[in-house]
A and B are shown apart, each in its own frame.
Chain A
C-alpha cells in the first residue's frame, strides 16, 4: 500500500504493508526510532505521537488512516537542535531518568498544553498524562516541568515577550 502523509512537516511517500500500524511504519519502514514501544497494546503511551496535533498511541493506529494527515513525532519537536520549551523544562526539572518513556511523554505534554492554553492545575495535568506510564520518576518532576511551561506561556501571553528555547548541545 502506498502511504502518503506529512511527518514533522516533511512529505513522506512509502510502500508499506496495508495493515501496518503507524509505530512500525515509523520505526521499521522509516528508521525513525525516536518513538519507542513498551507494550504494543496501547496501555503505556511510550509510542505516543501526534496526528493533526492530537495524541494517539501509534502501536494501535492503523497507518492507512493517517494517509493525508500530519504526524508529529519526537524528532520533530526540537528546531535544528534547539529544544522547545517543553523539552527544556524537562531537562531543567530532571523529568527524564532512563528516558525511555520520555519521547511519548513529551508528545503527550505538547498535546496537553495545546489543548489547554490557559492556566492548568496539577490534577488536570495528571489526568492528561494518565495514558503515559513512567516507571522511573514517580511523575513529580514531569508535573513540575509541565506546570513551569504552562506558567511561562501564561507569562508570554501576558507580556508578549518571547522565550527562546535552549540549544541542544551545551
Chain B
C-alpha cells in the first residue's frame, strides 16, 4: 500500500535519536542559566482548612532568600474552569499539597529552610475523600463560591432513544459497578518551570508542556501581564502523558517569583512533589446496565458515572466528555442514557491523562460485551463484530464514522492469539484470554474554540527546508513524522528537513498536543504548507525545464518533467534561481489547518473529531489462585491508524501505551489516606518494569483515512485504552470471576474468588 511513497511508510529512526542516545539533549532541569534562583512552595498539610494567618518574617530574614510570596503580596486572579483555582490560596486550602506560599532562594537548601520557617495557622475544616460521600447533601462544601449542589462541579447528561423500552425487548441484560483507581501519569521527567524577566518587563518561560499558547494566555489573564510581554519556550520533554497539559499553580508562582526578584527562577519538582501535587488520572466509577436481543444486537446502555476529580477542576473535569463518548458510541447502541457527575473531593485533582476517561469507560463497556456474549452463548469477538460501526455510520452523539478498521482489528487479534482454539479452554491451567476494543478520536478533538494548527516552511539557498510547526514534540516522534510528511510532499530526502520547535513569538498557533491529534492536524498543516512551497518551486522550475508546472513532479531532491524524467533540476538549485535574481523571492510558505469537525452542542451532540481511531487487543493471563498474583503472558494488539507515517514510531506509541495500560490494570494506584498521598515514590507506586511487560505484538491496520495526511490518523492513546478491559476479561476467562475494579492486585483477586465483592450480575431473559 505504501509502495508508491519515498519516505512515508518507512521505518525511520527518530531524527533526534542520536542526540538522545548520547545524552546530549538538554531537558528543563539541565538548562544552565546564570543567576538562577531556586523556587519552592509551601504546601498545605491539611485536606481542608481555612488559612488564619501566614507569618513569613523568619523566612524573609534568612540570608539567601530573595522573595517570599503569599496571596497577600501578589497580584493574581482566579483561573481554570469556572475560575475555581488560584495560584496562592488566599483563604481556603482544599487538598494536602495546596499551594499557600512560595520562596525564591539562592540554593535548594536555603529554599527548603525558608519553606520550613514559614508559619501558617490553619483552622481545620471537615473534609471528604470519597466521591459518593461528597455527593451527599450534608457533605462538607469544597467550593462554596460556586454555589453548587453537593459538590457536583459539572454534570454531563445524555439521552438517545428509549432505554426503558429497549430494556423490555432485551433477551439478556447485564449490570455492574466498575471502578478505576486514582493513578498518576508519572513521566520519568518531573515538572520543571523556569521564568526569567528581561530589561523590558518581558518574561520568558521555559516549561516542558503541551500547550504553549493556552499557557501564555492563562499566564497573561491570571497575573495581569500583557499578552505580548510573555514568551513561552518548550524545551525537550521527558515524557508527559497528559501530566503537563494543565497549567498549574506552580507555573504562575514561578513567574511571580521571577517578577519579585527580577532574577531567573527555576521550580523543579521532586518525585514526591510530582505525585502529590501534579495532575492525576481521576477515579471514575461506572454503574452500567446494557442489554442485547436474542440475535446479539446491542439494544441499550444505561450508565451512571461519578468522576472523583479532586479539589479543583483542571482539564480532568472534562474526562467525562470522552467517557461519555465511549458509552454512547463504542459499538452500535441505539438507546443510550448517560448521567455523569463530576465531584469535588479533598484530594489531588485530575488532569487530562492519556486516554482521558476512555480507559475507565472501556473497562466497563468491554466487560459487559463479554458478559452479554457469554449469556447469549455467543463468541465475544463475534458479538463485537456484529455490533461494530462501519464507514458511513453516525453514532447517537453524532460522531461520523469515516475510515473504520475495527472489524479488521478484531479479526487480526483473534487470529494472532489463537482465540478460537484457546479461549475458555485453559481454565484448568488458570489461564485465560480476554479481548477488548476501543473507539477514540483520531482526527483532533474540538474541545476548544479552534482545533487548528499552523505550519511555516522556508527553503533557502542551501536547499535545506525548515518547518516551523505550531505543534510540539513530547518524545512521541511527531517531529519526525512531520519531517517525513514534508519530505514526501516536496519530494526531497527527509535529511533535508529540519523541524524547529520554537517559541511562541515565532511559531504559529496550535491548540496543543492532546487527543492524539498531532500527526493528523499538524501533519495536514505541514503538508499544506509543503504543497504551497512545492507550487512555488514548480513555478520557478517550469520555464527552466521548458515545461508547464502541471507537467512536473519531484522526488529525491529533484524536480523533473513527469513524462521526460531526464529533464531534471535539483530543488536547491531552483530555490537559488528563484532567490538570486532581479525581483527574486524566497520560498516561504505557510498554512493553517483546522479540521472539518464541529463542537458538541448543549445536548452533547456533534462530530467533534474529523476521524476516529480504533483498535482491538487480546490479553492472556495466568492467575495464581492461592496468592492472587496475575502474570500477563501475552498481549496482542491491532490498531487502525489510517496510515502509519512511520511504522516504527507508531508501534512505539502503541507498545508504550500498552505498558502503561498494563500498569493501570495490575499494579498502579495512588494510595490516599485521609487525603494524604501515601507512597509518593516509585518504590510504592508500581510502574511496570521490563519484567512485568511481555512482548507486545502490534499489527497495524491501514484504512487510509480520507482527511488525514497521507491517510494517517491519531494513535497516541490507543495502545493504552483497552488494556485494563482486556486483562479483566482474560482474568474472567481464567478463573470465572469478574474484576469489578483495577488495579487487579493479588488480594483483590482472592476477594473476588471468595465472592466477597459486589460482582456484576447477569440477569436472564426479561419480560417481553
Contact = CB atoms under 8 A, between A and B. Distances in A.
A98 B655 contact: no
Interface in B5-43: 11, 13-14, 16-27, 29-30, 32
B655 A140 contact: yes
Given A130-B690, A139-B693, A100 B239 contact: yes
Nearest to A92: B13
Contacts of A96: 14, 17, 20-21
Given A40-B271, A129-B690, A98 B659 contact: no
A125 to B, nearest CB: 8
Contact of A78 (B17, B22, B653, B681): B22
Interface of A: 27, 31, 33-41, 43-44, 46, 73-75, 77-78, 83, 86-87, 90-94, 96-103, 106, 122, 125-127, 129-143, 168-170
A31 B36 CA distance: 14
B236 interface: yes
Nearest to B661: A138
Contacts of B651: 94, 140-141
B270 interface: yes
B188 A106 contact: no
B14 A97 contact: yes
A139 B690 contact: yes
Q: Nearest 5 pairs between A and B by C-beta?
A: A98-B475, A34-B23, A100-B238, A99-B20, A138-B655
Nearest to A44: B682
30 contacts: A34-B24, A39-B682, A40-B271, A41-B271, A43-B683, A75-B22, A77-B22, A86-B21, A91-B14, A92-B13, A96-B14, A97-B475, A98-B187, A98-B475, A99-B19, A100-B239, A127-B691, A130-B691, A131-B689, A132-B690, A134-B659, A135-B241, A136-B652, A137-B659, A138-B654, A138-B659, A138-B719, A140-B651, A143-B690, A169-B18
B652 A97 contact: yes
Interface string B174-209: 000000000000111110000000000000000000
Contacts of A103: 23
Given A94-B648, A136-B475, A43 B24 contact: no
Contacts of A91: 13-14, 17-18, 21
Given A36-B238, A41-B683, A133-B682, A170 B189 contact: no
Nearest to B22: A78
Contacts of B27: 36, 100
A31 B29 CA distance: 12
Contacts of B658: 138
Interface of B: prevailing SS:
loop
Interface of B: 11, 13-14, 16-27, 29-30, 32, 186-190, 236-239, 241, 270-271, 474-477, 495, 648-649, 651-660, 681-683, 687, 689-691, 693, 695-696, 719
Contacts of B652: 94, 97, 136-138, 140-141
Interface of A: prevailing SS:
loop
Contacts of A138: 652, 654-660, 693, 696, 719
Given A74-B22, A133-B689, A135-B188, 13 more contacts: A31-B32, A37-B29, A38-B189, A87-B21, A87-B22, A91-B17, A97-B652, A98-B187, A98-B236, A98-B476, A134-B656, A137-B652, A139-B655
A108 to B, nearest CB: 10
A97 B26 CA distance: 15
User: Which of A75, A86, A100 has the most CB atoms of chain B within a 10 A radius of its CB?
Assistant: A100
Nearest to A169: B18
Contacts of B23: 33-35, 73-75, 77, 102-103
B21 A83 contact: yes
Contacts of A134: 188, 656, 659, 690
B23 to A, nearest CB: 3
